[in-house]
Structure 1
Amino acid sequence: FRCGDAESPIGRTRTMPLPHQLPDQVRFAVTSCQNYEQGLFTAYEQMANDDVDLVFHLGDYIYEYEAGRNGKVRTHHGSEIMSLGDYRVRHAQYRSDPLLQNMHALCPWWVTWDDHEFDNNCACDISEESGIDSLSFLTRRANAYQAYYEMMPLRLRQIPRGSDMRLYRSAQFGRLAEFSILDTRQYRTDQPNGDRKSPLNEAALDPTQSMLGTKQRGWLSRNLIRSTATWNVLAQQVMMGMVNRSGDPDNQQYSMDQWPGYAHERMDLLNYIRDRQVSNPVVLTGDIHSNWANELRVDDRQTEQSLVATEFVATSLSSGGNGLDKPKNLDALLAENACVKWHNAERGYIRCDVTPDSWKSDYMVVDDVLKPGGKTFARNSFVVESGSPKLNQA
Structure 2
Amino acid sequence: MDRRAFLTAATAGLLLPQTATPAAAARTLRSDPFTLGVASGDPSADGFVLWTRLALDPLAGDGRGGMPARDVDVDWQVSADERFSKIVKSGTATARSRDAHSVHVELNGLEPGREYFYRFRSEGKLSPAARTRTTPAGETPLNFAVAACAHYEHGYYTAYRRLAEQEPDLVVFLGDYMYEYGPSGYTALAGRVRTHTPGKCETLADYRLRHAQYKSDRDLQAAHAVAPWLVAFDDHEVENNWAGPVSSTNAPGFTRRRAQAFRAYYENMPLRRASLQGAVLRVNRRISWGTLARFHLLDTRQFRDDQACLDGVRAGCDDRLSSGRTLLGSDQWRWLESGLRGSTTRWNLLGQQIMVAQRDYKVGPGREVNLDSWDGYAAERTRLLGALRGTENPVVLTGDAHMHHLAELKADFDDPDSPVVAKELIASSIASDGDGYRDRTWIAEALQENPHFSFIDQRRGYLMARLTRDELSVDFRTLDYISRRGAQAKTAHRLTIPATTGPAAAGQAGAPRVG
Aligned-residue Cα RMSD (Å) equals 1.7
Match of 2:439?
Answer: 326
> Shift of residue 332 of structure 1?
2.0
Identity of aligned residues (%): 35
- Give secondary structure in 2 for the equivalent of 1:185: coil
1:120 paired with 2:240, answer yes
- TM-score (structure 1 length as normaliser): 0.94
> Shift of residue 22 of structure 1?
4.8
1:158 paired with 2:158, answer no
Bigger radius of gyration:
2
> Shift of residue 105 of structure 1?
1.4
1:87 paired with 2:202, answer no
The more displaced of 15-24 and 277-286 is: 15-24
Change in Cα spacing, 1:81 to 1:317, as seen in structure 2 (3 Å) is: same
**Partner Cα distance (1:79, 1:282) in 2:** 39
- Which of 425, 431, 451 matches 1:312? 425
For the Cα contact (< 8 Å) 2:308–2:317, is it kept in 1? no
Match of 1:29?
Answer: 145
Q: Which runs of 5+ in 2 are unaligned?
A: 1-42, 53-103, 114-134, 501-508
1:98 paired with 2:218, answer yes
Higher strand proportion (structure 1 or 2): 2
**Partner Cα distance (2:480, 2:50) in 1:** 31
> Shift of residue 273 of structure 1?
2.2
1:17 paired with 2:112, answer yes
1:142 paired with 2:263, answer no
Structure with the larger RCO, 1 or 2 (CA within 8 Å, 6+ apart)? 1
1:295 paired with 2:408, answer yes
Match of 2:12?
Answer: none
Change in Cα spacing, 1:63 to 1:20, as seen in structure 2 (3 Å) is: closer
For the Cα contact (< 8 Å) 1:12–1:154, is it kept in 2? no
> Shift of residue 9 of structure 1?
5.9
AA in 1 matched with 2:514: Q
**Partner Cα distance (1:89, 1:6) in 2:** 26
Change in Cα spacing, 1:252 to 1:44, as seen in structure 2 (3 Å) is: same
AA in 1 matched with 2:278: R
Match of 2:462?
Answer: 349
Change in Cα spacing, 1:366 to 1:24, as seen in structure 2 (3 Å) is: same
AA in 2 matched with 1:121: N
> Shift of residue 128 of structure 1?
1.4
**Partner Cα distance (1:114, 1:217) in 2:** 18
AA in 2 matched with 1:140: R
Cα deviation digits, residues 241-275 of structure 1 (max 9, x gap): 10112232x1311111000100100011111222x
Match of 2:120?
Answer: none
Q: Which runs of 5+ in 1 are unaligned?
A: none
Match of 2:45?
Answer: 3
Change in Cα spacing, 1:175 to 1:317, as seen in structure 2 (3 Å) is: same
- Give secondary structure in 2 for the equivalent of 1:204: helix
Q: How many residues align?
A: 387
Match of 2:158?
Answer: 42
> Shift of residue 14 of structure 1?
3.6
- TM-score (structure 2 length as normaliser): 0.72
AA in 1 matched with 2:265: Y
> Shift of residue 13 of structure 1?
3.5
> Shift of residue 334 of structure 1?
1.0
> Shift of residue 5 of structure 1?
6.2
For the Cα contact (< 8 Å) 1:352–1:361, is it kept in 2? yes
Cα deviation digits, residues 88-141 of structure 1 (max 9, x gap): 0000000000011121111100000000000000001111124x33xx001100
- After TM superposition, list the pairs within 5 Å mapping 1:1-394 onto structure 2: 2-4=44-46, 6-8=48-50, 11-15=104-108, 17=112, 21-22=137-138, 24-69=140-185, 70=187, 72-130=192-250, 132-133=251-252, 136-162=253-279, 164-199=280-315, 201-248=317-364, 250-274=365-389, 277-326=390-439, 328-387=441-500, 388=509, 390-394=511-515
